[in-house]
C-alpha cells in the first residue's frame, strides 16, 4: 500500500509493532461488533489481524499525525459486483476516542481519491448495519449513493441487515470538482 497523507492523518502500511494501538480500540465492545467482527481478546489477536492485513495488502493503518498513534484503519478490498464488474469495497474503523472530529471522513475521502485516481477503479461500494448511524454519516459525507438493503453474515454466523452504497468514479469526480 502506498502511504497517503491528509492534513491530520497518515494512511500507511501496517507494522507488527502497531498491535498494541490496534488492541486499544479493537478490544472495546462498541468497535468490532459494529463492523461485524469479534472484540479482540489480546494483543496477540490484534497482531494476527495485522499479519492478515499485511498479506492482503488492502488496508492502511490510520495514524493520527499529532500523536503518532494508530487510531483505526481504512481498507479497499477487491470486490466483484453482481453484474461481474470488479472494483473495491471500502471498510473502516476508528477508535471511539477520536470519533466526532471528521477523521474518518477525511481518511475515507483520501482512500477514495486513491482508488479512483491511482488504481483506476470503476466503483467503490460500502455497507453499514442498519443501527450504525456513525458509519451512515461518513458514507453520506463521502457521496455514496444508496443502493438498497442486503444481508451480511458476521464473524459468528449471524445474519444482519445492512445498507449498501456505491460510488462510481465519474460521480466522485463530479462531486469533487463541484
pLDDT of residue 61: 98
Answer whether residue 26 shows pLDDT above 80: yes
End-to-end CA distance of the chain: 29
Per-residue pLDDT, averaged over 9-26, amounts to 97
pLDDT of residue 10: 98
- The tens digit of pLDDT for each residue in 28-78 reads 999 988 888 889 999 999 999 999 999 999 999 999 999 999 999 999 999
pLDDT of residue 131: 92
pLDDT of residue 85: 87
178 CB neighbour count, 10 Å cutoff = 6
* Range(s) of the domain holding residue 46: 4-177
pLDDT of residue 155: 78
| Confidence (pTM) | 0.94
Query: The domain spanning residue 99 has which CATH number?
Result: 3.40.630.30
* Domains of the chain: total: 1
Answer whether residue 176 shows pLDDT above 80: no
pLDDT of residue 7: 97
Q: Give the separation between CA 178 and CA 89, rounded to whole angstroms.
A: 24
Quickly state the pLDDT bin for 168 (edges 50, 70, 90). very high
Say if strands 159-168 and 145-153 run parallel, antiparallel, or are unpaired: antiparallel
Contacts of 69 (CB under 8 A, 6+ apart): 21, 63
pLDDT of residue 152: 86
pLDDT of residue 35: 82
- The tens digit of pLDDT for each residue in 118-163 reads 999 999 999 999 999 999 999 999 999 999 999 988 878 889 899 9
Amino acid at each position: 500500500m502506498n502511504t497517503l497523507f491528509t492534513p491530520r492523518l497518515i494512511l500507511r502500511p501496517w507494522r507488527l509493532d502497531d498491535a498494541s494501538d490496534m488492541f486499544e480500540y479493537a478490544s472495546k465492545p462498541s468497535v468490532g461488533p459494529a463492523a461485524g467482527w469479534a472484540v479482540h481478546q489480546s494483543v496477540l489477536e490484534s497482531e494476527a489481524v495485522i499479519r492478515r492485513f499485511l498479506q492482503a495488502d488492502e488496508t492502511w493503518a490510520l495514524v493520527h499525525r499529532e500523536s503518532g498513534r494508530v487510531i483505526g484503519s481504512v481498507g479497499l478490498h477487491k470486490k466483484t459486483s453482481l453484474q461481474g464488474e470488479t472494483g473495491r469495497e471500502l471498510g473502516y474503523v476508528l477508535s471511539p476516542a477520536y470519533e466526532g472530529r471528521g477523521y474518518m471522513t477525511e481518511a475515507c475521502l483520501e482512500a477514495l481519491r486513491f482508488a479512483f485516481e491511482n488504481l483506476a477503479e470503476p466503483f467503490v461500494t460500502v455497507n453499514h448495519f442498519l443501527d450504525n448511524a456513525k458509519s451512515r454519516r461518513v458514507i453520506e459525507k463521502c457521496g455514496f449513493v444508496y443502493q438498497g438493503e442486503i444481508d451480511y453474515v458476521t464473524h459468528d454466523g449471524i445474519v444482519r441487515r445492512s445498507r449498501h452504497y456505491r460510488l462510481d468514479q465519474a460521480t466522485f469526480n463530479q462531486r469533487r470538482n463541484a
